Structure 1
Amino acid sequence: MAAFVVVSSLLELVEQQLLQPKPCLVLDDTETIVSLREKLHFLQAFLEESNLKTEDPEAKEKLETEIQDVATKAEGQIGSKLRLVYLAANANGGDQCLVEEACQRLYQTMQQVVKDIKSVEIRILMLKPNLFSSSTNDFNEENVMVGVSSPSDLIPEDTPIVGFEREAEEIVGMLTKEWSMKREVIAICGIGGLGKTTLAKLVYEDPKIKYHFDIRAWTVVSKEHNVKEMLIHLLECILPVTSEISNKGDDELAKQLRNSLVGKRYLIVLDDVWWTIEAQDVIQLCFPNNFNGSRILITSRFREMCTYLSWEIIFDLKFLTIDESWEIIERKVCPSTEFKELGTSICFNCYGLPLAVVLCAGILATNKSLEIWKDVYETLRTSRISYDKSNLEVITSLCYNYLPNHLKACFLYFGVFPEDSSIPVEKLINLWVAEGFLMPERNKSLEEVAKSYLYDLINRNLVQIDKRSVDGKIKRCKIHDRVHEVCVREATKKNIMSLLNEKHALQVCRWISCQSSYWPITQAYYENHTSDEIHSILYFGRDFYPSRFRLVYPCLKLLRVLDLSLLKYSHGIPSGIVDLIHLRYLALSTIGSLYNFRFSKLQNLQTLVVSSWMGGCRLQLPSNILDLLQLRHLHLEKRYSQCFPSLIQENLQTLYWLKVARSDQNKNFKMVPQLKELGIYIEGELVHGCLEGLVHLHLLEKLKVEIGRVERFYLPTYFPPNLKQLTLCYTYLPWKEIYIVGKLPNLETLKLKDFAFCGSKWEQTEMGFKKLKVLLISRLDFTRWNASANHFPILEKLVLKYCWELKQVPIDFSNIETLKSIVLESCSSSLVNSAHEIKKMSIYEIQRREDQPAFLVDDLGTKIDLPNNEIFEEESVECSMEDSDERYC
């Protein structure tokens, strides 16, 4: 697998940097480059097919090691020479003689690399009969580039929950019944993988729980706990966490959390508790005893812990029966009758451990041959495992072994994230793209390929869906901590990842995951390590405020990924970043001026995320960032002005936020024709028609518009034709203009927030919203809403938040055959009652089949005071269990 990562990364470098036209590259003879690409495709295809079982595993392993060594050496040599070309082109206006000399050295290096790979290629062809039954033609480029329909193309659904119904009902009853008005602690106890978190989430999301408690909050404690991070996660479920809050110390955060809970009936979930004294201190200091039936629910694999914290209120989870285990597999796989006997034998060898069963189901669902089922059974049977840790290690390793190499790389990459991380999907995908181990497919962007890989891992049950957005898309994902252990172990064993924390020292390898509160790469470190193997540094420490540090050491000259989003830098940007010319992904949280920073030198940058970690401290940025021709995703805070590129930008897909000011007469959106997502922030009175150019963005699917200091905003006459999601915020439009939005032919999700439209009455007269599936309305001042089912014929979800004046949902919405749920938060009782009336009359509820979910009216109640809307960004109706890093909106 490590060989596959290096070969794919080198191949991506050749295709994206050497074969793509660049002004500074003077390489007249492309024959060598094309030959190098073909040989790398051959190696990549060999490694992908050699993932299967062979008769001579020792020969295969020896070849893979040789391939890894050759590719690693080649990547370092080509990357270093290419770096010299870029530096020469950027030095003193670009001395042509120096550039040509650097290009000649690069060319000579590539010739030698082709010779080195050819010698390996000969040995592969000599040994190929012992390893493969396929013909040489299997290694051609055509097969590598063509994608085929597979399970990865299927949008993952949430895994059905089996075997927890009785326990969930019992715990919900215990939490909501007023058997004690004191603040009580209830514990769910069981070994890892038994389903403690799954059961707790089932309880947490129960409608009775949502209705009963004023506040619900969730945090993961985990083995490597961080008290400050836990407090921030709990606060995030209660109120918007600003940079001012996140910069407070533990004592101040604990006090603020306690004050937020005083007088409220709350449910706090502490998931995966490992330690004792600190847990008791947090409970005593942060969670007031309001004598109103507040509850604390903990999960832990240690019974002593549960006894210590909750006295006698402990739920010991039971193991699954064979029938329950088979039901999980049957729902996932839908096997024929001939598989049942073998399947129940597999279930028996999972010993009733839900995680083991789910992982086995993932293997069987994607490998439906009888031989694979037999192999899984024999592996479990002969391992002589029990229900303890070794059981899950064997099964998880089995899952890993059955992955194709391209998925193995993506799976192991989860190891760079801290245990129990809730990972933004968009961030993960952009990191995968930057790393360069994706296999391109025809008619798909790299982001689409990455998404299909993620879906494949989810469908295999190796990755979990952690959070969906209001329109049902997967927003965050995570992996079970027991699966995370395998990722870390395998990536470390293959020397492609180094985990740096208080227990582990820094080791030179491809990916560096820094989980301690200091910066690892220093002058002292460089003096002992001159290797150029480091390609990625991701910083996950907290409370580190460096004023100065350098990033110019030769050991980082091939760096592709630098994620410093959690490191709070004080002086604009660390020195030396400008010379990291191979950088693809850069995320910074800083204060100070970046105005003089030469972003133009980072010619390979694909993703740029820049934010200020101090509230009210606005950054100064250069206005030519969009001139970076390889840039695909740009995430800046609002109020940052950007000029459109001087040349047509063919790669840019995501732009948050584009500031439009008074001086902008007409934005030339033709310069960014490939945009798929766009956020526009408007300040100052605009000329009428300023945004008419949006119609030229034919690929745009997601648009957010937010208004700052503007007296009057004008909707564009025409929107992008393929727009699927639109968010309007503070636009103060009259309701008579809603018909413009209603005419959008492909609009599926509409979010109207913070006085997007004003007026007491929404009179829907036009026949619009023909494809709208999700409608969210938050903090609008209308009192009456006249609309019929014909206006929203395929609406599936209606969300109303802080609509204090609205008294009734249009009663005819009961005739919308597709309407499945109405969610209300901080709305009037009459509005809630009207929603329940619609549920009773709903055609969907009356006609639904037994296997369909019931119509849901989710009343979140009047929970808290209205948040400060300057920093309030609603993306999901539910309170989230997520990291504080929200760069990806």
Structure 2
Amino acid sequence: MAEGPVTFLLNKLSSFLDSEIHIFRNVQEEVIDLRDELARTKAFLRTADSLVESNEQVQVWVEQIRDLAYQMEDVLDEFKLLSVEDHGDGLHGILCKFGGNIRNLKARYRAINDLQRVSSRLKSVCEGHKRLRQKFRRAGQHVQSNDGDGPWQDHRSDALLLDKTDLVGIEEPKRLLVQHLIEGPAKREVISVVGMGGLGKTTLVKQVYDHPAIKKHFAIRVWVTFSTSSKTEELLKEMLQKIAHQIRKPAPKRVDTSNSDWLKMMIKGCLLNRRYLIILDDVWHVNKWDAVKYAFPNDGCGSRVMLTTRKADVASASLADFGGKRYDSKPLADEESWKLFCRKTFPGNNTCPSNLEETCKTILSKCEGLPLPIVAISGVLASKDMRRIDEWDLVRRTLRAEIDGNDRLKKINKVLSLSFNDLPYYLKSCFLHLSVFPEGHGIERMRLIRLWVAEGFVETKEGRTLEEVAEGYLKELLNRSLLQVTDTTSDGRVKECRIHHLLQQIAIQKSKDQHFAARVDEQNASWPDKVRRLSIHNRFQSSHKDRSLSQLRSLFMSGVEKSSVKAALLCVLKLLAVLDLQAVPNLRKFPVQVVEMYSLRYLSFRYTEVETVPSSIGKLQNLETLDLKHTYVTDLPIEIMKLQRLRHLLVYRYETISYSHSKYGFRTPADIGSLQYLQKLCYIEADDERSHALMEDIGKLTQLRRLCILKLKKEDGAALCSSIAKLTNLVALSVSSLEDDEVLDLQDLSSPPPLLQRIYLKGRLLAIPHWIPTLESIVTLHLRLCCLKDDPLLSLQNLPNLVHVELEKVYNWKILHFSAKGFKKLRRLGLDNFQELRGIEVEEGALPSFVKLIIQRCKLLQNVPSGIEYLTKLKVLEFFDVHDELVRKLEHDDQSEDYRKVAHIPELRYGSWTDGGWDVKSVQRTGEEAGSSHSGNGRSRSELPPCWK
């Protein structure tokens, strides 16, 4: 993968020509020539990257281009650093600056010499693409592999030959798919089966395709396998020939010379007025679907098109065109995985010996329910001596290397790598970057986005922020099944994602091979000489102290000792752009070495015990993200205002004691409005003597997307409203009053930001701010301790996009009433601390989208909500610290009227706060069990109040 480094280098060369080259005119022409040569080479790299694995000559050439591009990038960045040294003020500073200028001049000449040297080598290697291009042209674009074993054979078609005895966990999805295909409307529909490589999509669909009911129902059944290199004409020819064979007609004589339009016309004619099932297996791109979809007539015969794909956008496009259903292929459950593993590993009795069980389960856990690696790894283990536990344990400890080195396991990597090879260069960088994170852990969405921006992976696009472009990159990786969503917000936004273990192993190995990133962990205690990103997940090895890290761009340290951090930071890290020390234990002091890292764009001490930030932070003038979330920092120095490129300033922590969920922010220094690029500012404490000026200053931050303010005084409300009106990009607003009984005056906001979606208000409100019921964009609303005089539901129930509402002590309800047709899109509601509330009434037709209800600290509530039986989509109902009578009805009396009202709800929980945590009991009912007397009780503990998680 050299296209990414070359693209980044081209951007830096352009910047260099614009800003630095005027100092040395004699190299201007040389740099321009190099830029032009790289631009010509870049187009060819896309072809070369696809040939790397099959041609050794291409592989060497690509590696040379990549490594020299890295070297040139280093030279340019080092040159840029020569102009950012800070010598201080006064006579000493002047003398140092004078001496520094002389040294800088010499250093600049050395840098120019380095630039010329690397430039000459790079241009020479770039010219090699002309010779390679000629070779490809002579070979008709086909390059023979230099691998003695010959080209890799695609074994995905093996799924079509599996016996039923090799299948596990397939009966229920097969039944559902057969039902989808046979039942339903007479119009033509599509069934899209979506999932990552190795999930067994083809295996499942083949079992459906061969099902007796399917054979009987459809007059024509045709299977066509796509691939990344499939040509449309060839696919259509194959399809036409198979259809002609089934209807017992000879294929048209022109089939071998016809274009795609004629072929589609002929296919459509053959299928017309016949009930058909067309399987399109392994469709990679929407344009492939677009190229064949018009061949399938919609003639009211109940015909179906079924496709398998790794990409969600292919499924969405097909459903948008034809209508139908999407089936998301899922990994095997633990029990099914174990059954398949034992069946293939121990074919005699399908039982794992007790002495191997722990080792085998550890190996199996790495497959995470993917049938392909389960079967492949089982085949390797089946040949090992069951008495030699050391052999089995060796596989457990070295599974990553075993997959790379074992011919029988290579096809796992090959199948999974197909998705990586299909990525554009900018997404390849983002995918490889996933190698730096700890295995098996979730990755916060916004952390990932900020890191990609800081790393320089994100391209500028007109009308969009870099973060918005990066969000698109993330969605594309999710769309391609290379990432999985593990947590979402109540309004449907991705909150956290993860990468499958085996996909991460591919990212780790490719990152290492391409000098993109290296990791130090329990399995790999060393890293290569050339490393640009380093992720350390254990102790910093003393044997590595002398290893040069001068070219390092990113350093991640997770689960390491404080001494290891100090050892790492003693290295020269002048080009470091990312320093992520999240959750380093016992780290209380801001490391002094950090402020000398002038290239830093991302700095995180999240979940550490750091208490203060030095005034020298002002040296980091390239910093874009400063993450001090969940630290003990409460004040920032005035020098923070020098960080004019800062985009995300996160300084806050939470503390929870019983029901109290408190936030602590920071006191901002003067002139916060000078940080013009700020997008996220959380949380400002606004209770000092200059709070009014601060509220006015906020109006200058016109790029803000999220603003969070604590301890707002009543008299500053008008100034804040005036500023908020100027923040036209604001999406989320959180404001808390100085004291719980302090009035929160936000009535003066005449023109709320048009994009505002999430509002969190804590403090006394004389009335619901008049502008909130006018916000059609709002999706989330939290109101706490408002003590309103009028029922807020009347003004909120008609908001068209409101999805999530949390209410704590906002109004003195005795009976809470939900009117018919109110809150049409509300999915989640939390009610907390309503001491006079005796009943809840739901009219038929109210809350039609409702899925979750949480009620807590309503001591007088003795009955479940009246009309709750109308809420047919309700999935979760939770009661905490309510009247004992209500608990008794739910816990013991499954014949009571209240119990029968909630019998249709799959998940029911209730509990109380004891011994510093929530003691939660649950009754879970799903499917036909919901509504029966069968129930299972379980307990869980949580420190956060359920309503405010």
TM-score by length of 2: 0.59
SS of the aligned residue for 2:585 comes to strand
Instruction: Indicate if the aligned counterparts of 1:592 and 1:620 stay in contact, CA closer than 8 A.
Output: no
Q: CA deviation at 1:340?
A: 3.1
1:351-398 per-position Cα deviation (integer Å, ceiling 9, x unaligned): xxxxxxxxx858467865999x9999xxxxxxx999323353331122
- Aligned residue in 1 for 2:737: 707
Instruction: Indicate if the aligned counterparts of 2:443 and 2:497 stay in contact, CA closer than 8 A.
Output: yes
Counterparts of residues 105-254 of structure 1 (less than 5 Å): 110=115, 114-128=119-133, 130=135, 163=170
- Structure 1 777/858 Cα, relative in aligned 2: closer, same or farther at 3 Å? farther
SS of the aligned residue for 2:518 comes to strand
Q: CA deviation at 1:634?
A: 1.5
- Structure 1 491/834 Cα, relative in aligned 2: closer, same or farther at 3 Å? farther
* Counterpart among 49, 52, 56 of residue 51 in structure 1: 49
* Counterpart among 760, 763, 774 of residue 743 in structure 1: 774
Instruction: Indicate if the aligned counterparts of 2:452 and 2:458 stay in contact, CA closer than 8 A.
Output: yes
Q: CA deviation at 1:651?
A: 2.4
SS of the aligned residue for 1:51 comes to helix
Instruction: Indicate if the aligned counterparts of 2:831 and 2:854 stay in contact, CA closer than 8 A.
Output: yes
The one-letter amino acid paired with 2:779 is: E
Q: Which runs of 5+ in 1 are unaligned?
A: 134-160, 170-191, 199-318, 331-336, 347-359, 377-383, 843-854, 870-878
Instruction: Indicate if the aligned counterparts of 2:615 and 2:638 stay in contact, CA closer than 8 A.
Output: no
Report the Cα distance in structure 2 between the residues aligned to 1:604 and 1:164, rounded to whole angstroms: 57
Higher CA-based Rg: 2
Q: CA deviation at 1:536?
A: 1.4
- Structure 1 67/548 Cα, relative in aligned 2: closer, same or farther at 3 Å? closer
1:515-536 per-position Cα deviation (integer Å, ceiling 9, x unaligned): 11x345x6x6343x23523221
- Structure 1 82/117 Cα, relative in aligned 2: closer, same or farther at 3 Å? same
Q: CA deviation at 1:562?
A: 1.0
- Structure 1 19/703 Cα, relative in aligned 2: closer, same or farther at 3 Å? farther
- Structure 1 27/641 Cα, relative in aligned 2: closer, same or farther at 3 Å? farther
The one-letter amino acid paired with 2:548 is: T
Instruction: Indicate if the aligned counterparts of 1:675 and 1:697 stay in contact, CA closer than 8 A.
Output: yes
- Structure 1 660/368 Cα, relative in aligned 2: closer, same or farther at 3 Å? same
- Aligned residue in 1 for 2:614: 596
- Structure 1 860/739 Cα, relative in aligned 2: closer, same or farther at 3 Å? farther
- Aligned residue in 1 for 2:706: 677
- Aligned residue in 1 for 2:225: 342
Tell me, yes or no, if structure 1 residue 388 matches structure 2 residue 376.
Answer: yes
Report the Cα distance in structure 2 between the residues aligned to 1:326 and 1:569, rounded to whole angstroms: 61
Instruction: Indicate if the aligned counterparts of 1:824 and 1:859 stay in contact, CA closer than 8 A.
Output: no
1:47-104 per-position Cα deviation (integer Å, ceiling 9, x unaligned): 3454345999444323311211211211222222222321267683683674572666
TM-score by length of 1: 0.63
- Aligned residue in 1 for 2:787: 758
The one-letter amino acid paired with 1:584 is: R
- Aligned residue in 1 for 2:724: 694
- Structure 1 454/856 Cα, relative in aligned 2: closer, same or farther at 3 Å? farther
- Aligned residue in 2 for 1:481: 501
- Structure 1 463/55 Cα, relative in aligned 2: closer, same or farther at 3 Å? closer
- Structure 1 51/76 Cα, relative in aligned 2: closer, same or farther at 3 Å? same
Instruction: Indicate if the aligned counterparts of 1:548 and 1:571 stay in contact, CA closer than 8 A.
Output: no
Report the Cα distance in structure 1 between the residues aligned to 2:473 and 2:904, rounded to whole angstroms: 32
SS of the aligned residue for 2:548 comes to coil
Counterparts of residues 428-447 of structure 1 (less than 5 Å): 428-447=448-467
Tell me, yes or no, if structure 1 residue 649 matches structure 2 residue 675.
Answer: yes
Tell me, yes or no, if structure 1 residue 511 matches structure 2 residue 533.
Answer: yes
Q: Which runs of 5+ in 2 are unaligned?
A: 139-167, 177-195, 215-219, 230-280, 293-306, 311-371, 378-408, 653-663, 875-902, 918-938
Q: CA deviation at 1:465?
A: 0.7
Q: CA deviation at 1:567?
A: 0.8
Report the Cα distance in structure 1 between the residues aligned to 2:764 and 2:866, rounded to whole angstroms: 27
* Counterpart among 558, 583, 608 of residue 600 in structure 2: 583
- Structure 1 469/43 Cα, relative in aligned 2: closer, same or farther at 3 Å? farther
SS of the aligned residue for 1:466 comes to strand
Counterparts of residues 54-73 of structure 1 (less than 5 Å): 57-73=55-71
- Aligned residue in 2 for 1:721: 753
SS of the aligned residue for 1:696 comes to coil
The percentage of aligned residue pairs carrying the same residue is 22
Q: CA deviation at 1:406?
A: 2.1
Report the Cα distance in structure 1 between the residues aligned to 2:565 and 2:437, rounded to whole angstroms: 25
Instruction: Indicate if the aligned counterparts of 1:795 and 1:816 stay in contact, CA closer than 8 A.
Output: yes
SS of the aligned residue for 2:771 comes to helix
* Counterpart among 456, 461, 465 of residue 476 in structure 2: 456
Report the Cα distance in structure 1 between the residues aligned to 2:744 and 2:59, rounded to whole angstroms: 65
Instruction: Indicate if the aligned counterparts of 2:595 and 2:620 stay in contact, CA closer than 8 A.
Output: yes
SS of the aligned residue for 1:87 comes to coil
The one-letter amino acid paired with 2:719 is: C
Instruction: Indicate if the aligned counterparts of 2:712 and 2:735 stay in contact, CA closer than 8 A.
Output: no
1:108-137 per-position Cα deviation (integer Å, ceiling 9, x unaligned): 65555554443344333454455589xxxx
Instruction: Indicate if the aligned counterparts of 2:737 and 2:762 stay in contact, CA closer than 8 A.
Output: yes
The one-letter amino acid paired with 1:627 is: K
Report the Cα distance in structure 2 between the residues aligned to 1:701 and 1:27, rounded to whole angstroms: 46
Instruction: Indicate if the aligned counterparts of 1:432 and 1:450 stay in contact, CA closer than 8 A.
Output: yes
Report the Cα distance in structure 1 between the residues aligned to 2:517 and 2:549, rounded to whole angstroms: 15
- Aligned residue in 1 for 2:278: none
1:692-737 per-position Cα deviation (integer Å, ceiling 9, x unaligned): 2111111111112233436222115226422432332432324x22
- Aligned residue in 2 for 1:7: 6
SS of the aligned residue for 2:725 comes to helix
Q: CA deviation at 1:856?
A: 9.3
Q: CA deviation at 1:537?
A: 1.4
* Counterpart among 827, 837, 842 of residue 797 in structure 1: 827
Q: CA deviation at 1:462?
A: 1.6
Moved more, 458-467 or 400-409: 400-409
- Structure 1 385/583 Cα, relative in aligned 2: closer, same or farther at 3 Å? closer
Q: CA deviation at 1:555?
A: 4.2
SS of the aligned residue for 1:737 comes to coil
Report the Cα distance in structure 2 between the residues aligned to 1:644 and 1:320, rounded to whole angstroms: 63
Tell me, yes or no, if structure 1 residue 323 matches structure 2 residue 341.
Answer: no
Tell me, yes or no, if structure 1 residue 525 matches structure 2 residue 540.
Answer: no
The one-letter amino acid paired with 2:616 is: R
Q: CA deviation at 1:687?
A: 3.1
1:212-235 per-position Cα deviation (integer Å, ceiling 9, x unaligned): xxxxxxxxxxxxxxxxxxxxxxxx
Q: Give the number of equivalent residue pairs.
A: 649
Q: CA RMSD in A?
A: 4.9
